[in-house]
Amino acid sequence: MSIHTNAIVIGSLLASPIAGFLQCDSVEPEDEPELIADTGVSAEFAADDAPEEEVPLESLFDGEAPTARSFNLRELSLKQLGKFVFFDKISVPAKKQGCISCHDPATGWTFPNDKINKGQVAAPGAVLGAVGTIRPPSNAYARNIPLQTGCGPLGLPCGGVFWDGRAEGNVGPVFAGATTHIDDEVFKGKSLLEDLFAEFLGPVADQALQPFPNPFEQNISAKAVCTHVSRAPYALLYRLAWGEKIDCTNAGFMLSFKRIAVALAAWQASDEVNQFSSKRDKALAAEVKLEGANVAFPLKGLTAQENLGHELFYGRANCALCHSNEPVLAVADPNKAGLDPDELYTDATFHNIGVPRNAKIPGPEGSAGLGARPLVIPDPDDDPTRRLGQHKTPTLRNVDKRPYKGFVKAYTHNGWFKSLESLVHFYNTADVDGATAAAFGVTRCDTTKTDWTEAEALAANCWPEPEEQGTLAIGFVMGDLGLTLAEEAAIVAYLKTLTDTKTVKPPPLLE
Ligand code: HEC
Ligand code: HEC
C-alpha cells in the first residue's frame, strides 16, 4: 500500500470538524492543502486521483516506513485528543464534570470556585452531595515530577503525583497503595508508536485513570468513557493518534481507556500546559541574552522588591530547600541560585509544614492522615504514624494565577490558608516558641477549639496546632525565619512573578 493512499483518510478528515482544530487558527477551512502542510503532512498526500474508499489509518505505521511528518501528526493528534478529553465534561450524570472542573487554567490549574475555596475547599463531585477530601493541586508542570523510586539511604518517598505521590508511575509499586500503572501494553506490538509515545507513560498517565471512576469525581466507568469518546466529535483524533479505531467492546475498552489516559498525559506534557511564560521566566531569559554565562540575580526585568524576594527565597527564608528542583543546600550566594529556566519550585518530595486542621472539609475524617501512605520499607523510627501530615511539595508556578483580583484561592493540601501573605507569615512565625513569633506577639491558639479558621487565627494573632505532629518541619527550616513584614511582602511579590502570562482556552468544538 502506498503512503499516498493514506492521504485520503487524512484528506477526508479535512471535511470533519477536527480539521479546523488541527490547523492553525489563522487558516480558513478553504485552505485545506495548507492545513496538510501545517500538520506536517506533505501536500503530495492529497493526490487528486486518490480512490474514494477509506484506507485504514494504521497503515500509516504498519507496513510502511513512517516519516518524521507522520510522527508529528501522531503526536499532535494524541495531545489534542488529551486536550479535548480534559475540557470535555465526561461524567455521570452527563456533562456535570471534567478535569477542567477542578483544574482551571485561569486559576493556575486549580479549583475555580472562590466560594468553595473560602469554605469547604474540597471539590464537589459530579453526583450531587459527593465531596472530595482534599484540595485539587495544579496539574501543570506535573510532567516533570519523577517516578516514585524511593530516595536516599533510607529509601524514603520521592516523586509520583497526588499529594501523597501514590500515582507512582512504576511497573511495580514501590510503596503500598500505589495506583494502577499503565504499562507498554498500550502499544500492543506497535513498536514504532512505543518509540513515539513511551515518554508519556509515568505518574501523570497513571493519575489520569483515577478521576473518571471515582464516585467523588467524574463517577463514570472506564467503558462509558470509551463509548463517550467514540461518539464525540473529536473521536477521529484517537484514530489518528493510535492508528486504529477506538475499541469499546468488552474485550477492548480497558486498553482504549488507558490510551485515553496516555493522551491526557501527553497534553499535560505539552508546552501549552507547561508554558514557562511567567514574568520571572521572561526576565531571566532577557538577562541570559545580555549576560550569557555570567547571569545572576538581581534581574533587570524584575522590581527591586521582586529581586529581594528571590534573594530571600533562595537564601535566608529557606524556601528553596523544598521548593526547588536544584540542589540548593548550603547556597553561598542566593543571587546565583534559582537560575534554571526549568525551575519547578518543588523538590517532588514530602514534608509536613504543620498546616492546621481544616474543619470545613466535610466528612468524618476531615483531612486527617491524608498524605501519608504506609511504607513497605522498614520505617527508620518504626512508627507508622511518622509520616502523617507529609505532603508533596507543590510547584509554586502559577500559585498567584487567578481570574480576577480578589478571587480567593485556597493553599496547601487542605486549603486552610487563603492568601500567600498569611502563608508566608506562617512560614516566618509558625514556631510559636521562637524569637520571630515573640517579636510579632504570635502565640499558640487555644487548643480546646479545634475548628480555627485562618481569619479567626489571624484576628487572634495565633497559630492553631499543626494537624499532624509527625516529622514536623517547624522548628527546623521554617517557623522562625526572622523576616520583617517588608521581607515577607518581598517573598510574596516574588511568588507573583511565577504566573504564566497566557491562559489556555477550551478547544473550539467544546466552547
Ligand atoms: C472533582 C475534582 C477533580 C476532577 C474532576 C479532577 N481532578 Fe485532578 N485532582 C483533584 C484532586 C483533589 C487532586 C489531589 C488528590 C490527591 O492527592 O489525593 C488531583 C490531582 C491531580 C493531579 C496530580 C498533580 C500533582 O502534582 O500531584 C493531576 C495530574 C490531575 N489531578 C489531573 C486530572 C485529570 C487529567 C483529570 C481528568 C481526567 C482530573 N485531574 C480530574 C481534583 C480533581
Ligand atoms: C520543609 C519544606 C518546605 C519549606 C522549607 C517551604 N515549603 Fe512551601 N510547601 C512545602 C510543602 C510540603 C507544601 C504543601 C504542604 C501541605 O499541603 O500540607 C508547601 C506549600 C507551599 C505553598 C502553597 C502552594 C499551594 O499550591 O497550595 C506556598 C505558596 C509555599 N509553600 C511557599 C513557600 C515559601 C515562600 C517558602 C519559604 C518562606 C516555603 N514555601 C518553604 C514545603 C516547604
Query: Hey, how many other C-beta atoms are within 10 angstroms of the C-beta on 21?
Result: 18
What per-residue confidence (pLDDT) applies to 190? 83
Task: For residue 124, give the ligand nearest its CA.
Answer: 1
- Nearest C-alpha neighbor of 473 from the set 345, 370, 323: 323
Q: Which grid coordinates belong to 248? A: 469499546
Distance 390 CA to ligand 1 centre (A): 18
Q: Is the dihedral of CA 400, 402, 406, 411 positive or negative?
A: negative
Q: Which grid coordinates belong to 209? A: 485513570
Which of 375 and 290 is assigned the larger pLDDT?
A: 290
Ligand 1, residues 87, 102, 206: which to mutate, most atoms within 8 A of Cβ? Answer: 102
- Nearest C-alpha neighbor of 375 from the set 393, 388, 356: 388
User: Mean per-residue pLDDT for 486-491?
Assistant: 98
The helix-helix angle for 222-231 and 235-242 (nearest 10°) equals 100
Task: For residue 430, give the ligand nearest its CA.
Answer: 2
Mean model confidence pLDDT for the chain:
84
Please indicate whether residue 411, judged by its CB atom, sits closer than 6 Å to ligand 2: yes
pLDDT tens digits, one per residue of 46-95: 333 444 444 455 555 544 456 666 778 899 999 999 999 999 999 999 99
pLDDT tens digits, one per residue of 117-163: 999 998 999 998 888 888 999 999 999 899 988 887 777 788 999 99
Which atom of ligand 1 is nearest the CA belonging to 203?
A: 29
Q: Are 483 and 430 in contact (CB under 8 A)?
A: no
What per-residue confidence (pLDDT) applies to 70? 74
Q: What pLDDT band is residue 438 in, cutting at 50, 70 and 90?
A: very high
User: Mean per-residue pLDDT for 359-386?
Assistant: 56
Structural domains of the chain in order of their starting residue, each with its CATH number: 1-55 (no CATH), 66-103+139-273 (1.10.760.10), 276-511 (1.10.760.10)
H/E element, 444: strand 443-444
- Please say if the pLDDT value at position 27 is more than 90: no
- Within 8 A by CB and 6+ apart from 398, the residues are 108, 109, 138, 140, 278, 498, 499, 500
Enumerate the H helices of 222-252 as residue ranges.
222-231, 235-242
Residue nearest to atom 13 of ligand 1 (CA): 136
What per-residue confidence (pLDDT) applies to 471? 82
Q: Which grid coordinates belong to 362? A: 466535610
User: Mean per-residue pLDDT for 484-496?
Assistant: 98
What are the Cα distances from residue 90, in Å, to 54, 84, 218, 297, 405? 29, 10, 7, 46, 31
Residue 107's Cβ-count burial label (10 Å; 0-12, 13-18, 19+) is buried
What per-residue confidence (pLDDT) applies to 356? 93
Instruction: Point out which residues pair with 15 in neighbouring strands.
Output: none
What per-residue confidence (pLDDT) applies to 249? 98
Residue 307's Cβ-count burial label (10 Å; 0-12, 13-18, 19+) is buried
Please indicate whether residue 136, judged by its CB atom, sits closer than 6 Å to ligand 1: yes
Residue nearest to atom 34 of ligand 1 (CA): 99
Please indicate whether residue 370, judged by its CB atom, sits closer than 6 Å to ligand 2: no
Q: What pLDDT band is residue 174 in, cutting at 50, 70 and 90?
A: confident
- Please say if the pLDDT value at position 425 is more than 60: yes
SS (H, E, C) 179-204: CCCCCHHHHCCCHHHHHHHHHHCCHH
Please indicate whether residue 208, judged by its CB atom, sits closer than 6 Å to ligand 1: yes
Taking the C-alpha atoms of residue 343 and residue 326, their distance in angstroms, rounded to an integer, is 7
**Least confident segment among 11-25, 198-212, 270-284:** 11-25
**Least confident segment among 106-110, 293-297, 322-326:** 322-326
pTM of the model: 0.89
Please indicate whether residue 317, judged by its CB atom, sits closer than 6 Å to ligand 2: yes
SS (H, E, C) 122-164: CCECCCCCCECCCCCCCCCCHHHCCCCCCECCCCECECCECCC
Please indicate whether residue 253, judged by its CB atom, sits closer than 6 Å to ligand 1: no
What per-residue confidence (pLDDT) applies to 390? 86
Residue nearest to atom 13 of ligand 2 (CA): 393
Q: What pLDDT band is residue 331 in, cutting at 50, 70 and 90?
A: confident
Interior CA angle at 96 toward 94 and 99, to 5°? 110
SS (H, E, C) 381-412: CCCCCCCCCCEECCCCCCCCCCCCCCCCCCEC
What per-residue confidence (pLDDT) applies to 318? 95
Instruction: Point out which residues pair with 104 in neighbouring strands.
Output: 110
Please indicate whether residue 101, judged by its CB atom, sits closer than 6 Å to ligand 1: yes
Residue nearest to atom 33 of ligand 1 (CA): 99
Interior CA angle at 55 toward 50 and 61, to 5°? 115
- Within 8 A by CB and 6+ apart from 317, the residues are 427, 428, 481, 483, 487, 491
- Please say if the pLDDT value at position 376 is more than 50: no
- Nearest C-alpha neighbor of 389 from the set 465, 313, 477: 465
